[in-house]
Amino acid sequence: MAKKEKKGIVKEFKEFITRGNVMDLAVGLIVGSAFTAIVNSVVNDLVMPLISIIVGKINFSDLKWVIAEATADTEEVAFCYGNFIQALINFIVIALVIFLIVKGINSFRRKKEEEEPEAPAEEPKPSDELLMLTEIRDLLKKD
């Protein structure tokens, strides 16, 4: 009985995995992680050197505010904000790129909708009562 249950679970899991939505999600995650690597490279290799020229610091991870100096018995207590700045810049670049992609897709959709000619609206068929009244009117005109 347990073996039968196991086959049912395996079958259900296989159906779940092979559904389109799950496969799309998996592809999206893989592409997203590759995209993150590209954005990190752009930020670390292109954007941060430009910012470091302005700030005067090459390595942002060294930026910190020391709360308590290190002693022989204790380590330094510091508020390290350099990594946060790095993560914030990464986020802004990723958000900007996603915004531009969504904006491009939306403008492409709008152009496609504008290019498709709208089908002319069909005139509504007259009701049976209207047809009968029209016939009566035409008969009365003949007299």
Q: pLDDT tens, 24-66?
A: 788 888 888 888 888 888 878 888 788 778 877 666 777 888 8
Handedness of CA 67, 69, 71, 75 (dihedral sign): positive
Can you give the residue ranges of every domain in the chain? 2-119
The band of 122, judged by pLDDT with boundaries at 50, 70 and 90, is confident
pLDDT digits (tens, 9 = 90+) for 59-112: 677 788 888 888 888 888 988 888 888 888 878 888 888 888 889 888 888 888
Model pTM score: 0.51
2-119: CATH topology is 1.10.1200
